[in-house]
């Protein structure tokens, strides 16, 4: 029978997996407590970084319906549970790993889909959600402006054409 403290730990981890948009598994071997504290700050407000026991975390992930991470639970493991923008946290992990090569990104999961370490690094290269949305809004605004100018140009071109025809007819009528 499972000990109550382990059952509680599994339940807490299961809830963390279920309530997160993404989870990134890392190996932290060789990092000091101070470095881990710095890493937690670099992940942003919407991420929780927890050092975990592999067996309990594997059970919790499976209970949460995530069974694609089973191969990653070896060695000292820590999980970044991301509830906000995954790009921001992925950037924090990538930047911290550049400065501290002891942090190894193993892989993760985003909205139920498995991600490799390389895919997480590609995710970190994306711009944040807010920047992408503002660019999209700017593109829509630009297209609307172009459409408005086009619709405004058509009637004025028609008026100029009709005036030119009238002037030509007036010349031809006066020349006869």
Tens digit of each residue's pLDDT, the chain (176 residues): 468 888 888 888 888 888 888 899 999 888 889 988 988 888 878 888 888 888 888 888 888 888 888 888 888 888 999 888 888 888 888 888 888 888 888 988 888 788 888 888 888 877 766 777 787 787 777 777 777 777 777 777 777 888 888 888 888 876 55
pLDDT of residue 155: 76
At 52 the three-state DSSP class reads strand
Whole-angstrom Cα distance, residue 135 to residue 6? Answer: 47
In this prediction, residue 92 carries a pLDDT of 87
pTM of model > 0.85: no
User: Radius of gyration (Cα) for the chain, nearest Å?
Assistant: 29
- CB of 52 closer than 8 Å to CB of 25: no
């Amino acid at each position: 029978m499972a000990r109550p403290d382990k059952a509680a730990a599994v339940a807490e981890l299961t809830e963390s997996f279920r309530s997160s948009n993404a989870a990134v598994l890392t190996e932290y071997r060789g990092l000091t407590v101070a470095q881990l504290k710095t890493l937690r700050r670099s992940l942003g407000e919407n991420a929780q970084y927890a050092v975990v026991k592999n067996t309990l975390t594997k059970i919790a992930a499976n209970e949460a319906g995530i069974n694609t991470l089973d191969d990653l639970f070896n060695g000292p493991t820590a999980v970044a549970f991301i509830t906000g923008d995954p790009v921001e946290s992925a950037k924090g992990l990538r930047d911290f790993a550049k400065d501290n090569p002891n942090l190894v990104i193993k892989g993760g999961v985003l909205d139920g889909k498995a991600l490799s370490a390389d895919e997480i690094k590609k995710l970190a290269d994306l711009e944040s959600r807010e920047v992408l949305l503002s660019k999209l809004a700017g593109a829509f605004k630009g297209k609307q402006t172009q459409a408005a100018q086009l619709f405004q140009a058509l009637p004025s071109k028609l008026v100029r054409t009709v005036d030119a025809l009238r002037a030509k007819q007036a010349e031809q009528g006066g020349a006869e």
